[in-house]
Amino acid sequence: MIVISGVNTEQAIQQMPLSALEKEIVRDKQMSPVVYRFDSPEALRFELAMRQSIVNAAKALHDSDASFAIFEKSRSNSQYWTRTSSGGFQLNNGVRPSDAIRDIFTNGKQYAFECATAIVITWYKAILDVIGDDAFNLYFTNLYLRDWNHDSDLWLISTHDSKESFPGDVLYFKNPDHNVNTPEWQGENVVKLNGNLFFGHGVGIETGEDMITALNKAREPGSTTPAYLSDLVVFPNFEYLRRLSVRLHAELNRRAREKKASRQEVPIIAVIGSQKGAR
């Protein structure tokens, strides 16, 4: 169930303009035996917006034509990223992080990377779309994309109950008996979408059953140990991200007020004639 501190939770939720997906998340959390506590309606609203944005970013990455590749064969747009010897992508000097992340989605054909990198890219795009360019470029600097490498302001939380997961969560399909010649198929990191759909870079948007079928094809010859959905659930610390955004907007508002105050007209005192004279 959902509990919002200091307010009537049901009334607060009813006043929120929610998308169909956000309503699904609220419904599932309300029906859960786990208590999900929020400090304010804004905290819940931000998490819902972020989960919606993660789902949107996952679908956009799927549609971007970015390819799957192991680290040795990764590639990126050299205008924004420098490919390292280990197959990662280092943000170029003088490039805005927001522009570099967006380029992956607009020029996907120039990119190839594996599934963990795809998850981090998805998180970055989702965060950018929610907190905006100013906050993203302030906090998410000097980006390096490779595997699970991520900026310190992308604070991740892990739980171990995939039955208690929601759209926007990242889960893991494990393939314990994968073919040793294709270690990249030892598992698939996925974003949970709506219903029973998942996005996994390299597999696509599929049901859980189809994800398992795809991984089973990459097992050792003769293996009878199937792939399965593990208990691992990973998601960003939504409240931390919200506070980053609030902090920046408060600072920008303070600067705007100071700038406005400095532009106020200063009274001009005119002195007419001479102040000197005989007494």
Q: Where are the domains of the chain?
A: 2-252
Structure confidence at residue 273 (pLDDT): 46
If one counts every other C-beta atom within 10 angstroms of the C-beta of residue 38, the result is: 20
pLDDT in tens, 122-166: 999 999 999 999 999 999 999 999 999 999 999 999 999 999 999
Residue 99 pLDDT > 90: yes
The angle that helices 115-139 and 238-262 make with each other, rounded to 10 degrees, is 30
Residue 192 pLDDT > 50: yes
pLDDT in tens, 265-279: 555 444 444 444 433
174 compared with 259, residue with greater pLDDT:
174
> What are the CB-based long-range contacts (under 8 Å, 24+) for 163-167?
164/32, 164/34, 164/233, 165/192, 165/233, 166/25, 166/28, 166/29, 166/51, 166/192, 167/21, 167/24, 167/25, 167/51, 167/52, 167/54, 167/55, 167/192, 167/193, 167/194
Residue 244 pLDDT > 80: yes
CA–CA gap between residue 143 and residue 42 (Å, rounded): 28
Structure confidence at residue 48 (pLDDT): 98
Structure confidence at residue 248 (pLDDT): 84
pLDDT bracket for residue 107 (50, 70, 90): very high
Structure confidence at residue 250 (pLDDT): 76
Query: Mean pLDDT score of the chain, rounded to an integer?
Result: 92
**H/E stretch holding 210:** helix 208-216
Half-sphere exposure of 43 (CA within 13 A, CB side): 16
- Using alpha carbons, select from 69, 74, 67 the residue that is nearest to residue 90: 74
* Contact indicator for 185, 200 with CB cutoff of 8 Å: no
Q: What is the mean pLDDT of residues 166-176?
A: 98
